[in-house]
Amino acid sequence: MKSPREYWPRWAETLRRYQLHGFAAMLLEAGSPFALLGAQVLHFSRGLIPSEQLTALALTLEEDTEMRAFASFLVEERTSS
């Protein structure tokens, strides 16, 4: 499996396309208490919908440092665009 960070540019582009990158960064920076719950739901859904991207997203949401790093990545992408 790829590192979750390898998916970040693709996720950022999708969020920008739907103009949700600012909202997503705000939620991630806040360290949403539902992030861990969301990660567990994604891990559970792996059995129903096998996807490396879902696994990578779950791993990103599980780790507070990774979640905040992705939020910073979104902010950097937003300011550089």
Phi and psi angles of residue 51, each rounded to the nearest 5 degrees, phi first: -155, 130
Q: What is the DSSP track for 29-73?
A: HTT-TTHHHHHHHHHHHTTTS--HHHHHHHHHHH-HHHHHHHHHH
Q: What is the pLDDT of residue 77?
A: 62
pLDDT in tens, 3-37: 999 999 999 999 999 999 999 999 888 877 788 88
Give the predicted TM-score (pTM) of the model: 0.84
Q: What is the pLDDT of residue 80?
A: 65
* Domain residue limits, the chain: 4-80
pLDDT in tens, 28-57: 888 777 888 889 999 999 889 889 999 999
pLDDT band for position 70 (cuts 50, 70, 90): very high
